[in-house]
């Protein structure tokens, strides 16, 4: 949520910063802005809306130093005044900030009551505190004094107009990476912003303060003691984050799923043996209950993990919504094990839970697509889902990769002789077939386009897929969609069915086939326009979309691709911004 970028070095910092913002735009796209220096003068340029609008204003701009920001509004409406960068009152300092300062009103009252503020943001407090303290302290000390007062989360870059040869940086809880390469030093909220600019990157620790000049880095902790940072090579290429010939990243990512599953197999299997750390397996086996914690699509993926753990390993498991768990106190078993699912590895709701779990010294595993993330650093163990960079805001391949990784982990723990590898290969082939027949999904999309409400139904595994299906349609097609366990319809929700309300049933399991069909018929009898997505083995010739058979416990990996495509085409037909749906952002770093 919000992306920050910066560069100091031999190349045009404006161009590099705008390039970085374009790559980070999926983190927030309410407004974008940049600050840079030319002839010892500061220029701040900001625009409401997309980075492209900002870029158009900067055609000939050149500088050796710049900081930039792409915003997902938290404090104050998304307009130009609230857009970053923000200047201090005298104009001496300029800042970009990702995060939320929780005590900003208190700080304003205690230190800055004579200051006037231009924006409604919490960020203006930070830059003005720096200015306030720098009246009596060296800038470096003024920043560290400011850090010591801030409560909440922040990753900040600051320029001082008295010395344009350096960028100050400091962070706590919000992610910040420092890149190093022949062109100079660069900053980004995530690794995508560094691709093509830096060769190596360092993940900066919480409460770190530092300053970069063209050839020098200084890093210190909050009390001013030197702190080392460690650089690693950047392993992602420009090619990986290129949209190629696809119209949208979402479509590209949907299409990448068969290949991705083969890639996950290659990473976790050596021959037929699975390669999960024996120490992790031993640790999970010792627990009396596994608690899965996640949000959104990742939470829906974790329902499958619970199912695999209980069915295959016999370990009682429960799924928790992170934003609920953090403010509740459920009964915890004697030897719990916590498993967190997160594509980004930066989700604030999850990090809040992890901090509580860590205090209790319970063991934690993070299953993620971002191994350099804050969540990995907080965990005892981490597993990579190997989905490759996911750029579209709506998760597709990361969701399937989480389900696949969960199956592999559960099978490894169970130790059972297994056909999982071949079954997963079968899933890849089945998804390819679904993709070949994408026109049928487009046909359904055309029919549901105009509806105000839509219901997905299913039972068991299919109900969890329905939850994900409904989320996808809401977030990119902006259609009010609910998922119901089909058996629950008659206990209330069926009252919502009106003439032609679309109801889509997902049916992949033998055991729940007939009963789900009966529940669907009950909605049809009340005027619903019904659709069936079914696996071949349980299908009837009248079903609308029939998907190939795969191992029954993996069937959702195929049916979910159908609902991803339905959501995608509905959004395209509605002319929505598929990759950047309104009000959303990819990495949700606020609670
Ligand atoms: C929906 C979606 C979100 C995320 C959720 C958790 O398409 O992408 O619901 O799944 O915000 O994000 P991560 O997985 O990064 O923790």
Per-residue pLDDT tens over the stretch 124-171: 999 999 999 999 999 999 999 999 999 999 999 999 999 999 999 999
To the query of whether residue 586 is one of the catalytic residues in this protein, the response is: yes
pLDDT tens readout for residues 385-405? 999 999 999 999 999 999 999
Q: Which of 2, 156, 295, 441 is catalytic?
A: 2
Average pLDDT estimate for 363-382: 95
Mean pLDDT of 457-465: 97
Atom 9 of ligand 1, residue of closest alpha carbon: 296
Q: Residue 101's pLDDT is what? A: 94
CA atoms within 13 A on the CB side of 466: 27
343 lines ligand 1 (CB under 6 A): yes
- Angstrom CA distances, 548 to 240, 307, 535, 538, 544, stand at 29, 22, 6, 10, 13
pLDDT computed for residue 586 by the predictor: 80
User: For residue 461, what pLDDT is reported?
Assistant: 95
CA of 344 to the centre of ligand 1 (A): 8
Q: What value does the mean pLDDT take over residues 239-268?
A: 95
Mean pLDDT of 257-282: 94
Looking at the predicted structure, is the pLDDT value of residue 433 above 90? yes
Structure-model confidence comparison of residues 80 and 564, the more confident one: 564
Q: How far is the CA of 375 from the centre of ligand 1 (A)?
A: 14
| Mutation pick for ligand 1 pocket among 298, 354, 376, 476 (CB with most ligand atoms within 8 Å) | 298
* pLDDT for position 78: 84
- Taking CA atoms only, the protein residue closest to ligand 1 atom 8 is 395
CB of 394 closer than 6 A to ligand 1?
A: yes
Query: Over the stretch 155-165, which tens digit does the pLDDT of each residue have?
Result: 999 999 999 99
Q: Is 296 in the pocket of ligand 1 (CB under 6 A)?
A: yes
Instruction: Kindly indicate the confidence band of residue 27, based on its pLDDT and cuts at 50, 70 and 90.
Output: confident
591: pLDDT strictly greater than 80: no
pLDDT of the residue at 323 = 95
Distance 231 CA to ligand 1 centre (A): 28
- Tell me whether residue 2 is one of the annotated catalytic residues: yes
Atom nearest to 350 CA in ligand 1: 16
Identify the band that residue 583 occupies on the pLDDT scale cut at 50, 70 and 90.
confident
Distance CA 142, CA 209 (A): 11
Average pLDDT for 437-466? 97
Look at residue 589 and tell me whether its pLDDT is greater than 80. Answer: no
Q: Is 160 in the pocket of ligand 1 (CB under 6 A)?
A: no
Return the structure tokens found at 242: 């290129």
Q: Are 125 and 101 in contact (CB under 8 A)?
A: yes
Which pLDDT belongs to residue 417? 78
How much is the CA Rg of the chain, to the nearest whole Å? 25
Q: Is the dihedral of CA 71, 77, 78, 79 positive or negative?
A: negative
The Å distance, Cα 341 to ligand 1 centre, comes to: 9
The CB of 368 under 6 Å from ligand 1? The reply is no
Instruction: Assign 3-class secondary structure to 58-115.
Output: CCCCCCCEEEEEEECCCCCCCCCCCCCCEECCCCCEEEEEEEEECCHHHHHHHHCCCC
Q: Is the pLDDT of residue 482 over 90?
A: yes
Inform me whether the pLDDT recorded for 86 exceeds 90. Answer: yes
**Per-residue pLDDT at 418:** 78
Least confident of 21-25, 75-79, 332-336: 75-79
What residue's CA is closest to ligand 1, atom 16?
342
Share of the chain above pLDDT 70, in %: 100
Count of alpha carbons within 13 angstroms of residue 247, beta-carbon side: 10
What confidence score (pLDDT) does residue 372 get? Answer: 87
pLDDT-based confidence at residue 108 (cuts at 50, 70, 90): very high
Pocket residue to mutate for ligand 1, from 347, 349, 384, 465, most atoms within 8 A of Cβ: 347
Check pLDDT > 80 for residue 1.
Answer: no
Beta carbon of 564 within 6 Å of any ligand 1 atom: no
Does 98 have pLDDT greater than 80? yes
Please, which pLDDT band fits residue 43 given cuts at 50, 70 and 90? very high
Asked if residues 346 and 299 have their Cβ atoms less than 8 Å apart, the reply is no
Query: From the CB of 395, is ligand 1 less than 6 Å away?
Result: yes
C-alpha dihedral sign at 546, 547, 549, 552: negative
pLDDT above 80: residue 590:
no
- The residue annotated as part of the active site, out of 55, 173, 438, 586, is 586
Ligand 1 centroid to 224 CA: how many Å?
37
**Residue 344 in contact with ligand 1 by CB distance below 6 A:** yes
Nearest CA to ligand 1 atom 7: 394
- For 349-363, what is each residue's pLDDT tens digit? 999 999 999 999 999
CA of 126 to the centre of ligand 1 (A): 29
Mutate to test the pocket of ligand 1, among 189, 343, 473 (most ligand atoms within 8 A of CB): 343
**In whole numbers, what is the pLDDT of the chain averaged over residues?**
95
Position in ligand 1 atom list of the atom nearest CA 296: 9
Categorize the per-residue pLDDT at 238 as very low, low, confident or very high, splitting at 50, 70 and 90: confident
Instruction: Categorize the per-residue pLDDT at 316 as very low, low, confident or very high, splitting at 50, 70 and 90.
Output: very high
Gap from CA of 346 to ligand 1 centroid (Å): 10
Choice from 249, 376, 395, 483 to test ligand 1 binding pocket (greatest atom count within 8 A of CB): 395
Instruction: Name the residue among 136, 138, 147 with its Cα closest to residue 169.
Output: 147
In this predicted model, which residue has the larger pLDDT, 40 or 416?
40
Distance CA 250, CA 577 (A): 11
Ligand 1 proximity of 475 Cβ (cutoff 6 Å): yes
For residue 29, the model assigns a pLDDT of 85
Residue 125: predicted pLDDT = 97
């Amino acid at each position: 949520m919000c992306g920050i970028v910066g560069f100091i070095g031999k190349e045009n910092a404006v161009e590099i910063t705008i390039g970085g913002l374009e790559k980070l735009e999926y983190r927030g796209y309410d407004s974008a802005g940049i600050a840079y220096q030319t002839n010892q003068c500061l220029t701040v340029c900001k625009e409401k809306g997309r980075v492209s609008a900002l870029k158009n204003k900067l055609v000939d701009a050149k500088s050796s130093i710049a900081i930039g920001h792409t915003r997902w509004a938290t404090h104050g409406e998304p307009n130009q005044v609230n857009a970053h960068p923000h200047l201090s009152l005298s104009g001496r300092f300029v800042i970009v900030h990702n995060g939320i300062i929780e005590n900003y009103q208190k700080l304003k009252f205690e230190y800055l009551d004579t200051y006037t503020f231009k924006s409604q943001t919490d960020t203006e407090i930070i830059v003005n505190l720096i200015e306030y303290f720098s009246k009596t302290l060296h800038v470096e000390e003024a920043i560290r004094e400011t850090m010591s007062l801030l409560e909440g989360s922040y990753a900040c870059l600051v320029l001082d107009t008295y010395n344009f040869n350096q960028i100050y940086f400091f962070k706590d809880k919000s992610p910040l990476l420092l890149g190093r390469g022949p062109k100079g030093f660069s900053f980004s909220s995530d690794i995508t912003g560094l691709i093509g600019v830096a060769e190596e990157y360092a993940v900066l620790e919480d409460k770190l303060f530092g300053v970069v000049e063209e050839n020098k880095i200084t890093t210190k902790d909050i009390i001013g003691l030197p702190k080392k940072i460690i650089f690693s090579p950047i392993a992602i290429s420009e090619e990986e984050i290129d949209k190629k010939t696809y119209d949208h990243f979402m479509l590209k990512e949907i299409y990448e799923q068969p290949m991705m599953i083969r890639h996950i197999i290659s990473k976790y299997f050596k021959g037929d043996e699975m390669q999960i750390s024996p120490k992790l397996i031993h640790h999970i086996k010792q627990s009396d209950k596994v608690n899965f914690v996640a949000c959104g699509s990742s939470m829906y993926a974790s329902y499958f993990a619970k199912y695999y753990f209980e069915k295959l390993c016999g370990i009682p498991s429960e799924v928790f919504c992170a934003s609920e768990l953090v403010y509740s106190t459920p009964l915890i078993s004697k030897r719990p094990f916590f498993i967190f699912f997160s594509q980004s590895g930066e989700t604030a709701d999850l990090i809040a839970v992890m901090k509580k779990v860590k205090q209790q010294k319970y063991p934690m595993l993070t299953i993620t697509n971002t191994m350099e993330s804050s969540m990995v650093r907080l965990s005892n163990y981490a597993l990579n889902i190997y989905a490759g960079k996911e750029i579209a805001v709506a998760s597709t391949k990361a969701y399937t990769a989480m389900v696949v990784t969960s199956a592999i982990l559960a099978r490894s723990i169970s130790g059972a002789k297994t056909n999982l590898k071949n079954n997963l290969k079968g899933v890849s082939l089945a998804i390819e077939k679904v993709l070949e027949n994408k026109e049928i999904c487009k046909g359904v999309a055309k029919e549901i386009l105009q509806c105000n409400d839509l219901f997905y139904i299913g039972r068991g595994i299919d109900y969890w897929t329905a939850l994900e299906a409904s989320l996808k349609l809401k977030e990119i097609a902006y259609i009010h969609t609910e998922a119901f366990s089909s058996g629950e319809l008659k206990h209330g929700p069926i009252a919502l069915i009106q003439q032609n309300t679309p109801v889509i049933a997902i049916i992949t399991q033998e055991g729940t086939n007939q009963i789900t069909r009966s529940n669907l018929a009950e909605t049809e009898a009340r005027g619903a326009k019904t659709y069936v997505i079914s696996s071949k083995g349980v299908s009837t010739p009248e079903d609308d979309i029939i998907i190939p058979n795969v191992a029954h416990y993996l069937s959702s990996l195929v049916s979910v691709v159908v609902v991803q495509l339905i959501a995608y085409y509905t959004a395209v037909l509605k002319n929505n911004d598929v990759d950047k749906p309104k009000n959303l952002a990819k990495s949700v770093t606020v609670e």
